[in-house]
Copies of this chain bind each other. A is one copy, B any other.
Amino acid sequence: MSSENNDAPYELIYWPGLPGRGEWIRLLFEQAGVPYTDHTKNPELVVPAVLEYISAENTGDATNLPILAPPILKHGDLVIHQLPNILLYLAPRLGLAPSQGSAVFHLNQLVLTLLDGFVNEMHETHHPIAVSLYYEDQKPEAKRRSKYYVEERIPKFLRYVQRVLGSQASGDGPWLYGGELTYADLVLFQCLDGTKYAFPKTIEKLRKSKGSDGKGQYDGVFKLYDEVKSLPNISSYLASERRQPYGDGIFRHYAELEEE
């Protein structure tokens, strides 16, 4: 990409009013302390902008492909979409990942796995039949799917994260990879935070769950969650008005989906 991008402002273009898939992007900027323009804070302007980007008539420009769906990152003359792709682009530029070597691929695989488990599969819990239907029109299926999500899938992904934390490649300390804070840690934080909103009883139960050795089965996972939450920049962000409450986005709380 052209070198002038280095000094260009970062711009986030996404649906307003919800953390949504934009939240992972915001957390990277917030932790890095790098200024960004969050266009979602201007709903009257950003909604038409998103609609214009995703319109069937919009075929991008000389260098950028058309956009299927937001979040969209604009950085100088570069316009990209797809959440894991935006994170891959941003992380090394914001000092939250190495820019080359095998770490790039190890972190990307970890982030893809976390987003599979806690974003893609989470979305299916309230929309197991069709995105074009209301939740109310797919409620029995949502209930059936959520049962398996809560009982099998969340534990499966948490076990995997715990396995990563116990690996040599994870290094010392609370972080997922190489002994240092990376964007994967921020991604995990938001995955857990959203899941806690959607399925609070489940997360509470898993936090207390003991392994056969009597120790907390997911201690590392929840320690990492707490550590990210108390990072000075993240902690100020979470306390600020920039952090939006959850609602009817990816992470939704329907009490009936979490019945005992």
Contact = CB atoms under 8 A, between A and B. Distances in A.
Contacts of A68: 113, 160
Contacts of A61: 168-169
Contacts of A132: 148, 152
Given A63-B102, A148-B132, A56 B1 contact: no
Nearest to A57: B163
A129 interface: yes
Contact of A128 (B78, B101, B120, B145): B145
Nearest to A124: B124
A65 to B, nearest CB: 5
Given A112-B85, A113-B82, A163-B59, A177 B145 contact: no
A144 B120 contact: no
Contacts of A148: 129-130, 132-133
Q: How many copies does the complex hold?
A: 2
Interface in A125-172: 128-130, 132-133, 141, 144-145, 148, 152, 159-160, 163-164, 166-170
Given A65-B177, A85-B105, 12 more contacts: A63-B102, A64-B102, A64-B106, A65-B164, A65-B167, A65-B170, A88-B105, A88-B108, A128-B128, A130-B145, A130-B148, A130-B152
Interface of A: 1, 56, 58-66, 68, 78, 80-82, 84-85, 88-89, 101-102, 105-106, 108-110, 112-113, 120, 124, 128-130, 132-133, 141, 144-145, 148, 152, 159-160, 163-164, 166-170, 177
